[in-house]
């Protein structure tokens, strides 16, 4: 059986790394079944970096013998190497990188893939640029002048990569002003500027997560040429694409204020199905307007539920069963309708407000109440 954590040093002892001072850089490498890339990666890193100022931290979620291969290769590597194997794989690639950041002790943390698509020789250039320009983050970019993505095989992958980069840049305009390649898996961050506890990694786009949530002060880019994979195959998949969508949503709508905005937009979008249902039932089918209005409200609540459940709270669905969520949502949507009428009467007859003002007030109260009950009760985190 594999040990939960394999640690090896250059002397081949199993134990903690020697305590060091002035460690310049920690190279964090996430690995998932990369056994045939390890030896070459370590050889090229060793050739490119001073062993006494560097450490390499692998965070591994492999199902093959990659951690053993790393531990073996570490014995003859002048740079101290540690392997941290995870059994749960939480957060996928991004989760692994954050785990590595927690373990890192260098002044700079450099994140790079194990498959040599990121040339190891670029590490000194990344850190040199960061130090020279007083930057907190240095992004290895395929899109900055001089960079390219020649190693991205196939028109389809290029299209997906280019398209998702453009959409992401649009959604996070302000955070990404200085970043041409937010999807890059190659970057260096100044450890003192890192706030690991702010990060909620989910899948591949850990750089995006870092830029949006940590808001590093100064960002510079270093162009590089994205190489073809050395050995083995890519782990990106359709499922990873879906996870990326979810990640974008979490990043964009993760705060309560942003969730409230989204909730409001969904509510407004529900007016259309409501009116269409009313028209069909009352005008076309001749149903009396009162039962028609009650039925049309169900259509709107169903519409809102579908969007809220899939777009807004997808990540919080696991806490309650489908029937538990939908029944509470419909209850809320109908109790709301029932309570608004006496409230309206109270405001108009009791407080002598005009009908329009009174309606507006009931709508605002109802909106805030429904949002809070959805956010704190039905979909509590
Ligand atoms: N620990 C861990 N857990 N590592 C993982 C996982 C995981 O679930 N999934 C992938 N990795 C590791 C791989 O072993 C590899 O070292 C690195 O993450 C990148 O995975 P690839 O499968 O090679 O991905 P890619 O080539 O399609 O995409 C990479 O390059 C893009 C361009 O730079 C990634 O780095 C993307 O984030 C990046 O946009
Ligand atoms: Mn790759």
Q: What is the pLDDT of residues 12-38, one digit of tens each?
A: 334 555 555 579 999 999 999 999 999
Q: For residue 271, which phi and psi values (nearest 5 degrees)?
A: -65, -40
Top mean pLDDT of 35-39, 232-236, 349-353, 360-364 is at 35-39
Nearest one of 202, 185, 219, 206 to 254, comparing CA atoms: 202
**Taking 70 as the threshold, does the pLDDT of residue 373 lie above it?**
yes
DSSP secondary structure code for residue 178 in this structure: T
| Strand pairing category for 137-141 and 54-60 | unpaired
Question: Of all protein residues, whose CA lies closest to atom 35 belonging to ligand 1?
Answer: 185
CB of 153 within 6 A of ligand 1: the answer is no
**Distance from C-alpha of 206 to C-alpha of 93, rounded to nearest angstrom:** 8
Is the reported ipTM for this assembly greater than 0.95? yes
364-379 burial code (b ≥16 CB/10 A, e <16) = eebbeebbebbbeebb
| Beta carbon of 168 within 6 Å of any ligand 1 atom | no
Which DSSP string do the residues of 60-113 spell out, in sequence order?
E--SSSHHHHHHHHHTT-SS-EEEEE-SS-TTHHHHHHHHHHHH--SSEEEE--
pLDDT of residue 1: 36
Question: What distance in Å separates the CA atoms of residue 190 and residue 198, rounded to the nearest whole number?
Answer: 16
Rounded Cα–Cα distance for residues 301 and 331 (Å): 10
From start to end of the chain, where are the E strands?
Answer: 5-8, 25-31, 54-60, 81-85, 108-111, 137-141, 187-190, 219-223
Dist. CA 184 → ligand 1 center (Å): 10
Q: What pLDDT does residue 239 have?
A: 85
User: Can you tell me the mean pLDDT for 38-67?
Assistant: 97
Q: Whose CA is nearest to atom 30 of ligand 1?
A: 185
Ligand nearest to the CA of 93: 1
Residue-wise pLDDT for 108-135, tens only, equals 999 999 999 999 999 999 999 999 999 9
Pairing of strands 137-141, 187-190: antiparallel
**Which residue's C-alpha comes closest to atom 12 of ligand 1?**
31
Q: What percent of the chain has pLDDT over 70?
A: 94
pLDDT band per the 50, 70, 90 thresholds, residue 258: confident
- How far does residue 85's CA lie from ligand 1's centre (Å)? 16
Ligand 1 contact via 30 beta carbon (within 6 Å): yes
More confident site: 360 or 224: 224
Which residue's CA is the closest to the ligand 1 atom numbered 15? 113
Instruction: Give the torsion sign (CA, 189, 55, 233, 142).
Output: positive
Mean pLDDT of 234-248: 86
Kindly state the tokens that stand for 56: 């390499």
* Mean pLDDT taken over the chain: 91
Q: What is the pLDDT of residues 149-197, one digit of tens each?
A: 888 877 888 888 899 999 999 999 999 999 999 999 999 999 999 999 9
Q: Give the number of the ligand closest to the Cα of residue 84.
A: 1
Q: Which of 204, 206, 227 to mutate to test the pocket of ligand 1 (most atoms within 8 A of CB)?
A: 204
What's the rounded Cα separation, in Å, for the pair 34 and 60? 9
Tell me how far the alpha carbon of residue 274 lies from the centroid of ligand 1, in angstroms.
45
The per-residue pLDDT for 22 is 79
């Amino acid at each position: 059986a594999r040990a939960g954590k394999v640690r090896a040093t250059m002397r081949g002892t199993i134990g903690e790394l020697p305590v060091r001072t002035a460690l310049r850089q920690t190279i964090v490498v996430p690995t998932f079944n990369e056994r045939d890339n390890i030896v070459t990666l370590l050889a090229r890193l060793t050739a490119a970096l001073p062993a006494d100022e560097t450490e390499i931290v692998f965070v591994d979620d492999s199902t093959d013998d990659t951690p053993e291969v790393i531990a073996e290769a570490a014995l003859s590597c002048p740079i101290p190497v540690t392997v941290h194997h995870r059994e749960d794989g939480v957060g996928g690639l991004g989760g692994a990188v954050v785990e590595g950041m927690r373990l890192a002790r260098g002044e700079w943390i450099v994140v790079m893939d194990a498959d040599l698509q990121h040339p190891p020789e670029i590490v000194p250039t990344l850190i040199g640029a960061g130090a020279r320009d007083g930057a907190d983050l240095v992004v290895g970019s395929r899109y900055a002048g001089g960079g390219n993505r020649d190693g991205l095989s196939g028109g389809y992958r290029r299209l997906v990569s280019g398209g998702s980069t453009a959409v992401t840049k649009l959604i996070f305009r302000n955070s990404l002003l200085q970043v041409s390649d937010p999807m890059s898996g190659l970057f260096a961050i100044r450890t003192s500027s890192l706030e690991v506890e702010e990060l909620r990694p989910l899948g591949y786009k850990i750089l995006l997560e870092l830029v949006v949530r940590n808001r590093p002060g100064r960002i510079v880019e270093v162009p590089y040429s994205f190489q073809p994979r050395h050995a083995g195959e890519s782990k990106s998949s359709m499922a990873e694409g879906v996870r990326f969508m979810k990640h974008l949503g979490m990043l964009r709508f993760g705060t309560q204020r942003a969730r409230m905005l989204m909730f409001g937009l969904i509510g407004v979008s529900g007016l259309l199905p409501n009116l269409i249902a009313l028209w069909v039932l009352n005008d076309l089918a001749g149903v009396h307007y009162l039962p028609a209005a009650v039925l049309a409200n169900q259509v709107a609540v169903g519409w809102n539920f579908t969007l809220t459940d899939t777009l807004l709270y997808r990540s919080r669905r696991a806490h309650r069963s489908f029937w538990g969520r939908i029944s509470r949502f419909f209850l809320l949507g109908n109790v709301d309708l029932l309570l608004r009428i006496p409230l309206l009467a109270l405001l108009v007859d009791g407080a002598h407000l005009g009908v329009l003002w009174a309606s507006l007030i009931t709508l605002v109260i109802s909106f805030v109440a429904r949002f809070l009950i959805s956010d704190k009760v039905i979909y509590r985190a």
